[in-house]
Structure 1
Amino acid sequence: MTDSPIVDTASGPVRGFWRGHGTPDASAAFLGIPFTKPPVGKLRFAAPAPPDPWTEPLDATTYGATPLRITGEENLIPEPAVPGKSTLNVNVFTPATGGSLPVLVWIHGGGYTEGSPASPWYDGARFNRDGVVTVSISYRLGFDGFGYISGAPANRGVLDWIAALEWVQRNIAAFGGDPSRVTIGGQSAGGGAVLTLLGMPQAQHLFDRAMSFSGALADVPLAIAKARADRIAELGGVTPDVEGFRALTERRIRQLQPKAATPRAGIGMVLDLLNDGLPWGPMVDGELLRHPTVDSLTTGTGSDKPLLLGSTDDEFTMVAEREGGRFRRMPSGILLLPFLHGRSTRRAYLRANRPQRKKGGAAMVGRFISDHVFRVLVPRVAEARSGADAETWAYRFSWVSPVKGWACHCLDVPFWFDGLDREKVANLAGVAPPQALADDMHAAAVRFITDGDPGWPAWSTEPGTARVFDAPASGTDRDAYASVLPLV
């Protein structure tokens, strides 16, 4: 095991490196393997194309270039930006024992505009320890990946997900994985990506299970996508077509994206997001994505695939907390007027969230934002799959960060990966997060990836039931998402 591991892929050999040499948990990592040609020049805004083959072992010991260009130092998850042109890569983490093992393909989050597959939080070493080959993938972000462009294929970021999954099907057996036992997983926008793929007929042959953590769907209507593209072209002084947009640098488009989508700041930006949805992400183009995702799931697409999904209790309460001063003395009913116009729905929602109302206005507004963007998707998707052949399991993550004061967005990720010791986790989870909770959650993920059952009653057989992950003890709740049901 002292020699560097070399694996032959369909494009050529790759050389990785061993970790934990001489221990029972030894594994190998292969980083920055291109699954397409670099999306630059004439290939910018084009569909992903297979990489040119090579004959000498490719150095796969460092992460490849990322579509993310600026490292977000203040982001909740550490997300390195690696410079370079060849940005569409996979990273493979595999046990040293070999064999035909189950596979997890991880899709990172970041609102479809940020995020990096090179995050240390997504290292698959602990999944390797438990017999799971792990792959993290990159995809084009923001307008480059998801903006409408006349003369270019729509949903280029979605095409990148599909191309990466096709790479897995062709190559994962050489890394010890079983291509017939692939689970796709992701968090936030990555969780939305999982649900999008689950609802796509064209992707069904590429995986057999799905895990969506804090999933956020885009489902951008085509008319809105076109309007935002026209606005970028106007701001950039170019024609709204392939040649016009190619005349704008990546950096210039990144500068124009927010101006074209949500020009307001503060609570105004929140209102725009709640009314119009995420500005960039998969669009319902009528071809690749023919229907909004929940509608596709309702018609039975993906019904043969087990699904695990859930959210944290207060995904975005921190956003409202920043505006806490203006919320402090206002009644909850008035605070929700800009968000919930229907009187009966507003009253029902307030009744269902009495415990949250006692925590103050920021807590109430934050819970509504969390519910509207993330948590309501859990019962909607679960009910959409009520007639599915495969079962749906739900969870809630309720452990409160001693640092942030909430069970907030991204807090659960290092628990799923059993990575409480990793870089910057303490910034979000404190210096002594409960390892027993990580053991519980990681084991549930491994059981689902391996056996298709995380270990508690399914929503599909006991509607409303979810596992509540908390410390010092977790348990099963038969009415776990009752507080969000008025919004369904």
Structure 2
Amino acid sequence: MTVRTVSTEAGRLSGDHTDGVARFLGIPYAAAPAGERRFAPPAPAERWAGTRNATGYGATAPQPPLHPAHANLAPLIGPGWVAGDGEYLNLNVWTPDPGTSGLPVMVYVHGGGFVIGSGAAPAFDGTSFARDGVVLVTVNYRLGAEGFLALSGEITNIGLRDQIAALRWVRDNIAGFGGNPDNVTVFGESAGGSSVAFLLHSPLAAGLFQRAIVQSGHDEMARRLELTEELTKALAARLGTSATTDAFREFSAPDLLRAQAALLRNDPHPDLRDDNGFDPGHRRALFLPTTGDDVLPDPVGVPSTYSRGVDLLIGTTLEEVNLGFGADEFAAFDAHDAVAELAATYPDAEALLERHGLHDPAVTPAHALTAAYTDLMFRSPSRRTARRHPGPTYVYEFAWRSPLHGAAHGLDVPFVFDTTQACRGLIGDAAPGALTDAMHQTWLDFATHGDPGWPTYDDARTAMSFDASPHLREDTAPDDTGAKYLPGTSTIRSSAHGQA
């Protein structure tokens, strides 16, 4: 191992260099969000004297611990809350050689339901991307109440503002790591994928990237400002305070995490349904991006006016809800339970469940419910996002069924990063090497020149199916599930499927 140094606007950094890859970890892209900087837009990182050691991951955002039942998700989530020096608005860079120039840049936004996760997760190790000629960046951002409250007349979408600040840091500093600031691809999965979809809609992010990849995310998982303000008031009431910046700053991060947990766990839940009785977070994701501010001025369901010319690669897994809350939580449900569960946040629950075989003797209620949630929460809004995008768009579906969880949420990530060995507890020991090669190369090709190797998603609705033998086929995902509850439904071409 040797040492490499680079210069940034805030000072010099020293990283390590092993087997042709240099790493610079825990780099502050913004000032520590402490004191008056809590519940405030990200401020520039403070300069440091001398050379800063960047050979270890930095602090991570305050977040609840991973539930023991979901321990196998740790490779996708990372170390949890690492308080460290409090400078958790940091990022990590892998590069083949900081002395070169003009390399494609990929910036990864982690998932975790907007409440957990970090850029330090083992699945996101950027070594393989760097060995293949890309400068890979992973980013931390504020989560939960710290990142997604709506303080009336004050601040909103703090977590998205952090992501935009990280992209600005990339624009201003990545050349020093060998990257081309005019060839940036931002990508993410789950909440990270939805974040990327929303960055496509933000005037504040316009021009900061040329390509986008949305994995198991979409641009519909947001709430109107009024509803996020209701959530903020509910959290303030739980804490016994007022819903203002100054009031929330009086509480520590652990205090806020306990109040978050109580809101999610206890009945009655805050009613976050819109006028149609629809909640895009389905009572599981409380803290979501907010429309109606300077970050996301447009309502959900309309095409972006800020992303023309941006290439988009977007897709989902075939069985998203198999992992996490699906199979275990719903195993004992009967038909009545399944309808009641879905109806709590979706008005046409029974019709959607019947489409997925609720009353078919060969289909269990749990299977009907997980299939309905997969379409409602992921596949349908993902396809609508694809059809709304004003630039070149390509669609994929991850269809390889692991022996542990099938083609579940998040299983595509280690194939993209070529980190399947670090995720064997999640995907098993039988990960096909050909699938890893195909997905990793596709992401490389797309980041390099904007072409993943198959036709755009037009009226033919063709998509790449990533299974043991990746192949192009007609896309079978419905694009109509939940569509009639969107303000911008009229902007989507009609589907042959019946609406539910």
TM-score by length of 2: 0.86
SS of residue matched to 1:326: coil
Q: Provide Cα deviations, 1:346-384, integer angstroms capped at 9, x if missing partner.
A: 27x745779998442211110111111111122211221
Alignment of 1:394-473 (within 5 A): 394-404=395-405, 406-422=406-422, 425-460=423-458, 462-471=459-468, 473=469
Matched, 1:306 2:303: no
CA offsets 1:36-72 (integer angstroms, 9 cap, x no match): 1110011111111112212311000000101044552
Decide whether the 8 Å contact of 1:93 with 1:134 is kept in 2. yes
In structure 1, which of residues 315, 327, 330 is the aligned counterpart of residue 333 of structure 2? 327
Structure 2 vs 1, CA of residues 202 and 353 (structure 1 numbering), >3 Å: closer, same or farther? farther
Find the counterpart in structure 2 of residue 289 from structure 1.
Answer: 296
Distance 2:359 2:101 in 1: 50
- For the residue of structure 1 that corresponds to 2:332, the secondary structure is helix
Provide the secondary structure at the position in 2 that maps to 1:201.
Answer: coil
CA spacing shift, 1:183–1:225, aligned 2, 3 Å: same
State the SS of the aligned residue for 2:26. Answer: strand
1:138, distance to aligned residue in structure 2 (A): 0.7
1:235/1:350 Cα in 2 relative to 1: closer, same or farther (>3 Å)?
Answer: closer
Unaligned runs of 5+ in 2: 482-496
CA contact (8 A) 2:124 2:417 kept: yes
Residue identity opposite 1:479 in structure 2: D
Correspondence 1:201 to 2:203: yes
- Which secondary structure state, in structure 2, belongs to the residue aligned with residue 254 of structure 1? helix
Task: Indicate yes or no: 2:50 matched with 1:56.
Answer: yes
1:278 counterpart letter in structure 2: A
Please list the CA deviations of residues 203-262 of structure 1 after superposition, one character each: whole Å capped at 9, or x if unmatched: 111000000000155312111111111111111122221121111111111111143356
Q: Which residue of 2 aligns with 1:12?
A: 11
- Matched to 2:28, the amino acid is P
Question: Is 1:224 aligned with 2:227?
Answer: yes
- 5 Å matches for 1:163-174? 163-174=165-176
- Give SS of 1:327's match: coil
What's the offset of the Cα at 1:99? 2.6
Deviations 1:382-429 (A, max 9, x none): 2212xx2x310001111112012x21111111001111111xx11111
Structure-1 separation of matches of 2:176 and 2:371: 46
In the alignment, is the contact (CA less than 8 A) between 2:186 and 2:213 conserved in 1? yes
Return the offset for 1:334: 9.2
> Counterpart amino acid of 1:184?
V
Deviations 1:422-470 (A, max 9, x none): 1xx111110121111111111111110001011111103x442111111
Q: Confirm or deny: 8 A CA contact 1:218 1:283 kept in the other structure.
A: no
Q: Is the 8 A contact 2:167 2:208 kept in 1?
A: yes
Matches within 5 A, 1:379-394: 379-385=383-389, 388=390, 390-394=391-395
Q: Give 1:153 shift.
A: 2.1
Q: What corresponds to 1:23 in structure 2? A: none
Letter in structure 2 aligned against 1:52: E
How many Å apart are 1:288 and its aligned residue?
2.2
> Separation in 2 of the partners of 1:482 and 1:475?
19
Q: Structure 1 79/130 Cα, relative in aligned 2: closer, same or farther at 3 Å?
A: same
Check conservation: 2:379, 2:478, Cα contact below 8 A.
no
Q: Does structure 2 conserve the Cα–Cα contact (< 8 Å) formed by 1:110 and 1:188? A: yes
Contact kept, 8 Å, 2:404 with 2:428, in 1: the verdict is yes
- Give yes or no for contact 2:416–2:436 (8 Å, CA) kept in 1: yes
Instruction: Give the stretch that moved more between structures: 177-186 or 325-334.
Output: 325-334
1:317 maps to 2:316? no
Shift of 1:192: 0.4
The partner residue of 1:376 within 373, 380, 387 is: 380
Say what the alpha-carbon RMSD is for the aligned residues: 2.9
What residue identity is the alignment partner of 2:311?
P
Q: How many angstroms apart in 1 are the aligned matches of 2:381 and 2:360?
A: 20
Cα deviation code 1:305-325 (max 9, x no counterpart): 010001011111343322444
Secondary structure at the aligned position of 1:16 is classed as strand
Report the Cα offset of residue 196 of structure 1: 0.4
CA distance in 1, matches of 2:190, 2:21: 28
Task: From the superposition, tell whether residues 370 and 37 of structure 1 become closer, same or farther in structure 2 (CA, over 3 Å).
Answer: same
Q: Whole-Å Cα distance in 2 between the matches of residues 273 and 481 of structure 1?
A: 19
Letter in 1 for 2:409: H
Give 1:370's aligned amino acid.
Answer: T
Report the Cα distance in structure 2 between the residues aligned to 1:190 and 1:440, rounded to whole angstroms: 22
1:352-371 aligned at under 5 Å gives the runs 358-371=362-375
Amino-acid identity (%): 34
Task: Check whether the contact 1:195–1:212 (CA below 8 A) recurs between aligned residues.
Answer: yes
| Correspondence for 2:194 among 192, 195, 200 | 192
User: Is residue 280 of structure 1 aligned with residue 287 of structure 2?
Assistant: yes
SS for the counterpart of 2:420 is: coil
In structure 2, relative to structure 1, the CA distance for the partners of 1:396 and 1:258 (3 Å cut) is: same
Q: Do the aligned residues in 1 keep the contact of 2:21 with 2:95 (CA within 8 Å)?
A: yes
Residues 442, 264 of structure 1: CA spacing in aligned structure 2 closer, same or farther, 3 A cutoff? farther
* DSSP-derived class of the 2:114 partner: coil
Residues 354 and 57 of structure 1: CA distance in aligned 2, closer, same or farther (over 3 Å): same
Q: 1:121 to 1:333 in 2, by over 3 A?
A: closer
Instruction: Work out the number of aligned pairs and report it.
Output: 469
> What is the correspondence of 1:96-175 to structure 2 with a 5 Å cutoff?
96=97, 98-150=100-152, 152-175=154-177
Secondary structure of the corresponding residue to residue 418 of structure 2:
coil
State the partner residue of 1:28.
22
Residues 208 and 353 of structure 1: CA distance in aligned 2, closer, same or farther (over 3 Å): farther
Q: TM-score, normalised by structure 1?
A: 0.88
Aligned partner of 1:126: which letter?
S
Contact map agreement 2:29 2:169 (CA 8 A) in 1: yes
Aligned equivalents of 1:355, 1:190: Cα separation in 2: 35
Residues 334, 260 of structure 1: alpha-carbon distance in 2 compared, 3 angstrom cutoff: closer
Change in 2 beyond 3 A, CA 1:273/1:206: closer
| Contact 2:279 2:345 survives alignment (8 Å) | no
Aligned to 2:94: 93
Name the residue aligned to 2:490: none
The answer (yes or no) to whether the contact 2:64–2:257 under 8 Å persists in 1 is: no
